[in-house]
């Protein structure tokens, strides 16, 4: 879209637009941009000066997007999944507002994917608006009990690691506190720790490989890609 093009060239200012004759008498939109001069002596004025607001402008189309978004939930609900099911029809996605068809690649990363139907199959593939684009899907899940299922799923790349801040061995501990235990397919929810603990509430324990998630993401996608990340992890 026109607004998306201007967003890509923030270093330039719009001079003019006009329609010109193209191939076979078709009309082509000509856009003239001029690179902004760098002000080496620029100093940010303080908020107290009263002029700070004039230095920070927000494009109109961005204000419209915020206006049309769903209301912000200011306090964390005690039962978030119940609240989500009640408001699922009110959720607004970015791809409902902006054009993404000009992007280079389309990538969905599910951090803490658990089983396929947890969010990839039940939410992303069925509900997320994709504008008829095919997304590369990455499932990041360290729990070995879910790995076999992904071997049978086409179009999904499994990364059998724990999203972490560096590449190192971690401990995946299964919660055995009766007041906190939540079981999915016979296996309780767990928590990742960089060191082994001796808590009496911990039962099963596995060694898993953690990887630097930020480093992987930076090396796997670029600014020209459209990337959706769902993150649901503890640690």
Domain positions in the chain? 1-37, 105-231
Regarding predicted confidence, which is higher, 99 or 11? 99
196 pLDDT tier (thresholds 50, 70, 90): low
Token pair in block for residue 178? 């009766």
pLDDT of residue 110: 97
pLDDT of residue 188: 52
pLDDT(229) > 90: yes
CA gap 108, 216 in Å, rounded: 14
The region that residue 50 occupies, defined by phi over 0 for left and psi between -120 and 50 for alpha, beta otherwise, is left
131 pLDDT tier (thresholds 50, 70, 90): very high
pLDDT(41) > 80: no
Per-residue exposure over 152-189, b if at least 16 CB sit within 10 Å of its own CB, e if not: eeeebebbbbbbbeeeeebbbbbbeeeeeeeeeeeebe
pLDDT(139) > 90: yes
Residue (of 46, 90, 98, 55) closest to 69 by Cα position: 90
Comparing 41-45, 76-80, 149-153, which segment has the lowest mean pLDDT? 41-45
Q: Hey, how many other C-beta atoms are within 10 angstroms of the C-beta on 113?
A: 25
pLDDT(74) > 90: no
pLDDT(43) > 50: no
Q: Hey, how many other C-beta atoms are within 10 angstroms of the C-beta on 190?
A: 23
CA gap 173, 151 in Å, rounded: 24
pLDDT of residue 38: 58
Q: Are 21 and 38 in contact (CB under 8 A)?
A: no
175 pLDDT tier (thresholds 50, 70, 90): low
Mean pLDDT of all residues in 184-209: 59
Q: Are 32 and 25 in contact (CB under 8 A)?
A: no
Which contiguous run of DSSP H or E holds residue 191?
A: strand 190-193
Q: Are 132 and 100 in contact (CB under 8 A)?
A: no
pLDDT of residue 193: 63
pLDDT of residue 204: 56
Mean pLDDT of all residues in 191-196: 62
Mean pLDDT of all residues in 163-190: 64
pLDDT of residue 202: 45
200 pLDDT tier (thresholds 50, 70, 90): very low
% of the chain beyond a pLDDT of 70? 75
pLDDT of residue 30: 82
Mean pLDDT of the chain: 79
Residues 6 or more apart whose Cβ sits within 8 Å of residue 149:
115, 116
Residue 127 burial (CB < 10 Å; 0-12/13-18/19+)? exposed
pLDDT of residue 29: 79
């Amino acid at each position: 879209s026109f607004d998306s093009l201007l967003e890509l060239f923030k270093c330039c200012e719009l001079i003019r637009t006009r329609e010109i004759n193209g191939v076979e008498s078709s009309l082509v939109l000509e856009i003239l941009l001029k690179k902004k001069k760098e002000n080496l002596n620029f100093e940010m004025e303080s908020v107290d000066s009263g002029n700070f607001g004039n230095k920070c402008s927000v494009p109109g189309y961005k204000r419209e997007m915020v206006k049309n978004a769903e209301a912000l939930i200011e306090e964390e609900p005690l039962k978030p999944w119940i609240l989500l099911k009640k408001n699922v029809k009110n959720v607004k996605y970015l791809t409902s507002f902006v054009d993404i068809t000009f992007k280079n690649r389309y990538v969905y990363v599910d951090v803490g994917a658990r089983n396929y139907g947890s969010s990839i199959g039940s939410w992303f593939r069925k509900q997320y608006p994709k504008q008829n684009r095919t997304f590369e899907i990455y499932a990041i899940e360290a729990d070995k009990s879910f790995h076999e299922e992904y071997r049978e799923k086409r179009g999904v790349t499994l990364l059998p690691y724990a999203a972490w801040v560096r590449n190192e061995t971690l401990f995946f501990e299964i919660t055995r506190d009766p007041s906190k235990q939540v079981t999915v397919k016979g296996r309780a929810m767990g928590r990742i720790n960089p060191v082994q603990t001796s808590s009496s509430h911990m039962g099963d324990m596995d060694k898993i490989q953690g990887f630097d998630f930020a480093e992987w993401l930076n090396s796997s996608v670029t600014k020209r890609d459209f990337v959706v990340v769902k993150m649901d992890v503890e640690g």
